[in-house]
Amino acid sequence: MSSDMEAVIETATLAALPKQLEPGCKYIVHTREGVREFDTRGDLPPFKTGWPVFRDADGFCAYYGKHADEGSEVYADFDAGSVEAVLDAHGGTPRWRGHVATLQLQRTPSWLSWIRHDREMMSQQAFADFIEDNQADVTGEDSPVSVMDLLEIAQSLRIHTKVAYQSGTRTANGQTELAWVEESSASAGKHGKLTVPDIFIVALQPFWGTPRYRMAARLRYRVDPHSKALSFGYRLDGPDRASRDAVAEVVTDVGAQTQATVMTGSPGLG
């Protein structure tokens, strides 16, 4: 290859623009000595930064123990189900507040399901499906009814979908009897009764890694005045309290593991 051609190739190579590997930080540059990588941040960053998110308290506390110092701060947001540690919080001198670890608790599917349908009226079929799908959360301990009782009610609701219901009557044991009449003329107006509980007990886990909390589910029913169709719903007793208690247990665990004072609120980092 002629020296003129080599000169042209070298000129073209050196004219090539730097290639960015990491926005604003790392670049590949063509030089006379070959391709070189440059990091505009220097050999080491001047201070720690990062925003890791953890799903369990043990991982969060392990990270805190590795990076925290006497100026680090910890905040708990009970409504959001989260704990934040500002590892480079302001101390005697201002600091960047750019190294923040977050513990974000995750809702369980069963909790979301029960909360989503709380106070919602459902058709007989939909309510029967719901009870069968979520039977694992119904407990018979200290409850007026067992899960088998509810499953029997669900089966009865499936069978008696084409009947006209009448208003209910309270019984001495705190249950309700719903009278019905078959709509089919072939049955000569067959009558019957469906007994349902006013209260059953569920044990729900607000977040992964937290205990289950028992709460009453107060059964509600409605008879349509025109179609005489029956609809069901329930009202959970104290789900917000159970959720906050679950976060409080996690906060207590975090405080014990980190030996940090956990403040209620948010660091206000935007």
Q: How far are the Cα atoms of 92, 110, 172, 204, 213 from residue 156, in angstroms, in the given order? A: 70, 24, 22, 26, 29
pTM equals 0.73
Per-domain boundaries in the chain: 3-39, 53-106+246-264, 109-238
Q: Are 150 and 156 in contact (CB under 8 A)?
A: no
User: Average pLDDT of each block of 10 consecutive residues along the chain (270 residues)?
Assistant: 53 55 63 61 74 97 97 96 96 90 98 97 89 90 76 73 64 61 54 75 96 93 79 93 97 97 90
Joined tokens for residue 233: 């719903």
Joined tokens for residue 247: 């976060």
Report pLDDT digits (tens) over 26-52.
666 655 556 666 666 566 667 888 999
- Distance, C-alpha 63 to centroid of its chain: 22
Query: In the 8-state DSSP scheme, what is residue 186?
Result: G
